[in-house]
Amino acid sequence: MVMETPSPEENHVSQKYDKVLQQIVDYVFHYKIDNEKAWKRAKLALLDALGCAVATAASNEDCRKMIGPVVEGTTVPNGARVLGSNFELDPTKAAFDNGLLIRYLDHNDAFIGAEWGHPSDNLGAIISVMDWLSRKGIPQRPRLSDLSSKTGIEPSTTPPYTLRILLTAQIKAYEIQGCFQIRNSFNKVGLDHVILVKLASTAVVSWLMGLDYAQTLAAVSQVWQDGNPLRTYRQAPNTSPRKGWAAGDACMRAVHLALLTRAGQPGAPSVLTAPKWGFYATTFRGSEFSLPQPFGTWVIENVYFKIVAAEAHGITAIYAALQLCRIFADSGINPRKDIARIDIRTHSAAKTIIDKSGPLNNYADRDHCMQYLVAVALLKGSIITPEDYKDDSPWASDTDVSELCSKIVLSEDESFTLEYNDPSKRQMTNGLTVTLKNGKVLDEIVVHHIAGHPLSAETEAEVISKFKRHMSSMFEEFHVRAALEAIEDDDIAVHDLVDLFVMRLHPRLCKRMKD
């Protein structure tokens, strides 16, 4: 892993811009990825995101209402495909749609720190831009000589765009977003974490579109001039479905900013540090960004995969609840009648994000509520699914669920918070203690991490199983096998890869898959 030296011209341009912006663009343009673990992990994360998009398109009517052209019936020749659909759109609307599909059901990957977020959100922008450019045949501009190291071919002269270039943009977007998340809390100033999706996506899609170093600096500076989204749609009392399409919105804006910059719009060199009017002064309460380490490949190597469709900070609590179900069955305990109280020891992030009381008004409210996650798991006796959050789910109107939710009390355990923030652990630990109406207190069940955690040996197999399950909602088995084979081909054209994840297939691809 090597960082190339910027040219004198780039140094001259960058000196006019805030240092953090320089660091981002230097990384995008000059960092060479030479880490097999990073490449392998990126492919796994890409598969996971693509599967999430297909499953969402297949199962969620609310989401399907939001995708497609603004003007009904419009098709963009050589445009970007929308995953799990027949739509072919301009890259900005496609970025919204693909970002929405990846994120909407809250089962794509996650990364934790002072800020919380989902790095695969960026793939909505990356896939859409690369699919569009690949189909359109726009000359390529990425300049890292090792992108196609397996073939020795210089990517800047190799049409069309390949999977290797997509993975490069993906790894770098993950790293930019994740490194900002580690120490910089946007939620504490009321902002939503999708500001980092917009930042990372703008940086890498500018590079993919062929913007030069100076233009990419300008595009990245534009991100901070936007009035960025408030976190209110993720927090009670206003939790709403917008949290499911906020990342798509950020992807769309990132692509638009890159296109505007390509059209000649200048940047704002001191957009962060300008007195009175800069981002730090107006929005970040006078604080400056802190990056914990140089950009590399650490984030993609340590991303957390969500095997269960639930808010990440509550997943270990669900698994603890399932252990309790077995104890209840063995002991003759009826969770609907015999429980007086459930105490959950948790970490500070869970307290902030998913500790709720009172009525839950919609899908988004339920999937971001620790009490609901645990109550449904205890009464259902199995893993919670996206259907369990819907308004027409029997659990949503079950009075026993509401009553059990009212008995669940969260408290922060500082040792769990320390584990959460420890880079060597990054655990989202939860401990459940049940007190019965007869006064008996059951032994606490503590779960530190499960499959999906970067330290779990089961993660890769579970992610592949999840991918197959998601793909089976729309495609036959031979099709799923073809997609798994394609992801191993670094030189596959991006548009050929994307064609495996849309409903309308080219006859050539159908024949190849059946053969």
pLDDT per residue as tens digits for the range 90-106: 999 999 999 999 999 99
Domain shared by 180 and 218, yes or no: yes
Q: Angle at the Cα of 126 (from 124 to 132), degrees rounded to 5?
A: 100
Find the CATH number of the domain harbouring 340. 3.30.1330.120
Residue from 429, 438, 442 nearest 325 by CA = 442
Average pLDDT, stretch 464-474?
97
DSSP 55-77: HHHHH-HHHHHH-S-SSTT---T
Checking if the pLDDT of 328 tops 80, the result is yes
Assigned domain for 291 exists: yes
| Model confidence, pTM | 0.90
Q: Which H or E run contains 81?
A: strand 80-81
Residue 137's pLDDT is 73
Find the CATH number of the domain harbouring 53. 1.10.4100.10
Domain shared by 246 and 331, yes or no: no
Distances, alpha carbon 491 to alpha carbons 165, 173, 385, 496, in Å? 9, 20, 36, 10
Beta-sheet pairing, 339-346 with 408-412: parallel
Assigned domain for 489 exists: no
Alpha carbons 275 and 295: distance in angstroms, whole number: 27
More confident: 23 or 6: 23
Q: Environment class of residue 164 by beta-carbon count within 10 Å: exposed (0-12), middle (13-18) or buried (19+)?
A: buried
Assigned domain for 456 exists: no
Average pLDDT, stretch 300-328?
96
Checking if the pLDDT of 510 tops 90, the result is no
Assigned domain for 6 exists: no
User: pLDDT by residue (tens digit) across 53-88?
Assistant: 999 999 999 999 999 999 999 989 989 999 999 999
Domain shared by 291 and 383, yes or no: no
3-state secondary structure of 435: strand
Residue 158's pLDDT is 40
Q: Residue 189: which domain range? A: 19-150+157-305
Residue 35's pLDDT is 94
Domain shared by 388 and 253, yes or no: no
In 90-234, alpha helices (H): 91-103, 123-136, 163-183, 194-208, 213-225
Domain shared by 284 and 177, yes or no: yes
User: pLDDT by residue (tens digit) across 249-301?
Assistant: 999 999 999 999 999 999 999 999 999 999 999 999 999 999 999 999 999 99
Assigned domain for 13 exists: no
Domain shared by 316 and 217, yes or no: no
Checking if the pLDDT of 515 tops 70, the result is no
Q: What is the DSSP letter of 329?
A: H
- For 286-299, the three-class secondary structure string (H helix, E strand, C coil) is CCCCCCCCCCCCHH
User: How many structural domains compose the chain?
Assistant: 2
Domain shared by 255 and 400, yes or no: no
Torsion region of 513: left, alpha or beta (phi above 0 gives left; psi -120 to 50 gives alpha): alpha
Domain shared by 358 and 260, yes or no: no
Q: What share of the chain in percent tops pLDDT 90?
A: 86
Checking if the pLDDT of 486 tops 60, the result is yes
Domain shared by 188 and 221, yes or no: yes
Assigned domain for 231 exists: yes
Domain end among 399, 431, 447? 447
Checking if the pLDDT of 509 tops 50, the result is no
Residue from 136, 50, 112 nearest 316 by CA = 112
Assigned domain for 270 exists: yes
Domain shared by 179 and 212, yes or no: yes
Q: What is the DSSP letter of 84?
A: T
Domain end among 255, 273, 305? 305
320 contacts 401 by C-beta, under 8 angstroms: no
285 contacts 417 by C-beta, under 8 angstroms: no
Assigned domain for 464 exists: no
Alpha carbons 351 and 400: distance in angstroms, whole number: 23
Alpha carbons 514 and 482: distance in angstroms, whole number: 9
Domain end among 447, 466, 489? 447
Residue 119's pLDDT is 98
Residue 5's pLDDT is 67
Checking if the pLDDT of 303 tops 90, the result is yes
Domain shared by 47 and 114, yes or no: yes
502 contacts 85 by C-beta, under 8 angstroms: yes
User: pLDDT by residue (tens digit) across 184-214?
Assistant: 999 999 999 999 999 999 999 999 999 999 9
Domain shared by 262 and 361, yes or no: no
DSSP 154-174: -GGGSSS-BHHHHHHHHHHHH
Residue 153's pLDDT is 31
Alpha carbons 156 and 369: distance in angstroms, whole number: 48
